[in-house]
Amino acid sequence: MLANGLTTYECWDLKKVSIPSRSRLYQLEPVGIGTSLVESLTGYISRLAEAHCVTPKVLISRELVSFIPKTYRTTNLFEMRSLTGALNGLGTMAFDLVTVLESMTLRSDLRFLTLLTWANIFPQRKLLRSRRAWCPYCYEEWYSSKDKVIYEPLIWFFEAVTVCHCHNKSLCQQCLHCKRDIPPLASYSRPGYCPYCLEWLGVTADYPSSDNTPLSKEEIMWQTWVIKTLGELLATTPRLSKPLQREIVAQAFCRYVEQFAEGNTAAFARMLEIPKNKVWMWQMGKVLPELNVILKICFTLQVSVLDFLTQETLKENSSKFPATPQNQVKDSSTKKLEVKFDSDRTQQLLENVLQANEQPLPMTAVAKRLGYPKRVLYRHFPELCRAISAEYVKYMKESRVKRIEQCCEEVKQAVRQFHTEGIYPSEAAISKLLAKPGCFRDKQVRAALRAARKEISLEP
C-alpha cells in the first residue's frame, strides 16, 4: 500500500547557475548604429551621464578617469573642452575612451560611434569640427514626437557637413540664447541643451523666423551629395570585417588613374585640376588626401567615397549612390552653375579642333574656348579629348627638340665668335648672347658647348 502511495517529483538540476557578468555602467544602447545618423561618442557620454542622473563631468571624473591611461595633460573637462571633438575621431583619445566605456558597459559596438574604423584612411586635419553643430528643427521634431531619443548624430560633426539634409537649413554652431560656441563635450553637456545657459537648443516660440541665410540650389545639392556619401560610410562601418588599411587609398588612385587617364597621372591631375605632384604622392601612398579633397575628387568622378575606396571588396554588398549630375551642381566653394551641355555641337567642335591645321592647343585652352569645364568634356568625349591632348603633347615634344637644336646652333656660333675675339667662351659669357639664356639647364645644350670647345682645342 505504501509503495503505491509514493509521489514522483521532477528532477532538479543542481548545477551552479551561470550568471552573466554585471556591467559597471548601464548598457545604454547607442542610437542609429548601422545607419547614416549614428550617434556620436560625445553625445552618447552625455546621454549615459543623464541615465545615471549625473553630469558628464561627474561621470568622467568619478568613474572613467582612473581607467584612462595617464598620457594626457589633464582629464578635467573644463580644461580640455576645446579638444573633446577628438573623442569622436580616429586618434588615441577616441580609442582610449572607447576601450574604457566598452569595458564598463560590456558593450562591443561603441567604436562605431567614432571614426576609428577609418583611422588609416583619413588624416585628422579638417575632418571634424571642434564645436557642436545641430539642427534646431530636428531637435524640436524629436522632442515633439515623444517616442524619439534626443541625441547628437556623428554626421553633424564633419567639417564638410554644414546643412541639415532633412530641413535644408544651415546647422547652428552658436547658442541662440547666450551666443556662445558649444564644445562637443562639456561639464554640463546634455543632448538638445546648452551646457552654459542650460537653455533648449530646438525651435522655440521666440525663435527667429529668418534664422538662416537662404541657401542656393547649388549649395543644397552639393550638401545633399556630401551627406549622402558620408552617411553611406557611417552606415557601412559596422559591416566591415576589419578596419581598412592605408594601402587601399593608393590602390584606389592607381585604379582610377588607369581607368580615366590610361595610367597618365599628369592627365588625371589636369582633369581634376589638382597639382600632379599631389596625385603622384597619393598614388605612391606617401601622404593621405584630406576628406574634403576626396569628396571633391569623388564628386568629379561621379562615384561615392565608399565605392572609390572599396569598390573591389564591397562591390556586391554596397549600395549604389547615384552622384548628383555634374552639369547641375558644383562645389559650393565655386558658387557657379554649369551651363546646359550641348552634346552634338560640342562633339563637332572638338572634331574640328582635332582636324585643324593650326597650332595644337592644350585641353585646358580648348575647354575654355568651348565654355565648358575640362572634366565635363573628358566625361562625355574621353577619346576625342585624349586625342587632342596627345596632339598637343606631340607638338610640345617636337617644339622642344627644335628649340634645343636652335640653342645648340647658337652656342656653337657664340663659341666661334668668342674664339675669334680672343675671349674664353665660358657658359656665363655665352648665355648673354643667347635668346634664351636658361637653355643651359638642358644637358644637350651643355654637351653642345663642350663639343664646340673641343673643336677649337679648348677642351681635351
C-alpha 186/C-alpha 61 separation (Å) is 12
Residue 210 burial (CB count, 10 A)? 6
| C-alpha angle 369-372-376 in degrees, rounded to nearest 5 | 135
Residue 147 has pLDDT above 50, yes or no: yes
Contact 140, 207 (CB under 8 A): no
Residues 6+ apart with CB under 8 A from 130: 82, 83, 85, 183, 184
pLDDT tens-digit series, residues 69-99: 766 555 555 556 556 678 899 888 899 899 9
Rounded to 5 degrees, φ, ψ at 134 are: -155, 160
Q: What does the alpha-carbon distance between residue 372 and residue 377 come to, in Å, rounded to a whole number? A: 7
For the segment 361-379, what is each residue's pLDDT rounded down to a tens digit?
Answer: 888 888 888 878 888 888 8
How far is residue 84's CA from residue 75's CA, in Å, rounded to a whole number?
10
- Give the pLDDT score at 249: 93
Q: What is the pLDDT of residue 323?
A: 40
* Interior angle at CA 289, CA 283 and CA 290, nearest 5: 170
pLDDT tens for 164-196 read 988 888 999 999 889 999 999 999 999 999 999
Query: What per-residue confidence (pLDDT) applies to 135?
Result: 94
DSSP H stretches of helix in 170-285: 217-236, 247-261, 265-272, 276-284
Residue with cell 574621353: 382
Angle, to 10 degrees, between the axis of helix 247-261 and the axis of helix 305-314? 100
pLDDT more than 70, % of the chain: 86
Of 8-12, 26-30, 398-402, 427-431, the one with minimum mean pLDDT is: 8-12
Alpha-carbon distance of 77 to 91, in angstroms, equals 18
At 325 the pLDDT is 38
Cα dihedral 134, 140, 141, 144, rounded to 10, equals 150
Q: What is the mean pLDDT of the segment spanning 51-78?
A: 79
d(CA 429, CA 445): 15
Residue 405: its H or E element: helix 382-421
CA distances from 260 to 267, 283, 287, 342, 381 (A): 9, 14, 22, 22, 12
Q: What is the pLDDT of residue 345?
A: 84
Any idea where the domains of the chain sit in the sequence?
24-240, 343-391, 394-455
User: What's the average model confidence in pLDDT over 300-319?
Assistant: 69
Alpha-helical segments (H) within 422-456: 427-431, 443-455
Residue 317 confidence (pLDDT): 35
Work out the percent of the chain whose per-residue pLDDT is above 90. 38
Rounded CA-CA distance 410/435 in Å is 9
pTM (predicted TM-score): 0.65
Position 399 scores a pLDDT of: 84
Name the 3-class secondary structure at 138. helix
Write out pLDDT tens, residues 236-246.
999 988 888 99
Report the SS3 class of residue 201: coil
**Rounded Cα distance, 376 and 300, in Å:** 9
**Model pLDDT, residue 237:** 93
| pLDDT given at position 81 | 57
Q: What is the average pLDDT across 136-148?
A: 90
What confidence tens digit (pLDDT) does each residue in 317-363 have?
333 333 433 433 344 333 333 345 678 888 888 888 888 877 888 88
pLDDT digits (tens, 9 = 90+) for 229-282: 999 999 999 998 888 899 999 999 998 888 888 888 888 888 888 888 899 999
- In three-state secondary structure terms, 189 is coil
Using alpha carbons only, what angle is made at residue 277 by residues 275 and 279, rounded to the nearest 5 degrees? 80
pLDDT at 3: 55
Instruction: Please enumerate, as own/partner, the contacts of 3-10 that have beta carbons within 8 Å and a separation of 24 or more.
Output: none
- Return the higher-pLDDT residue of 9 and 410: 410
What pLDDT, on the 0 to 100 scale, is given for residue 30? 96
Reply yes or no on whether the pLDDT at 1 is more than 60: no
Greater model confidence, 271 or 53: 53
* Per-residue pLDDT at 395 exceeds 60: yes
Measured between its terminal Cα atoms, the distance across the chain in Å is 135
**What is the number of other CB atoms lying within 10 angstroms of the CB of residue 413?**
14
What is the DSSP secondary-structure string of 305-360? Answer: HHHHHHHHHHTTTSPP-PPPPTTT---TTT---PPPP-HHHHHHHHHHHHH-SS--
Cell numbers that stand for 383 in this block: 577619346
CA atoms within 13 A on the CB side of 347: 8
Contact in structure between 271 and 326 (CB atoms under 8 Å): no
As given in the structure block, the three cell numbers for residue 425 are 667662351
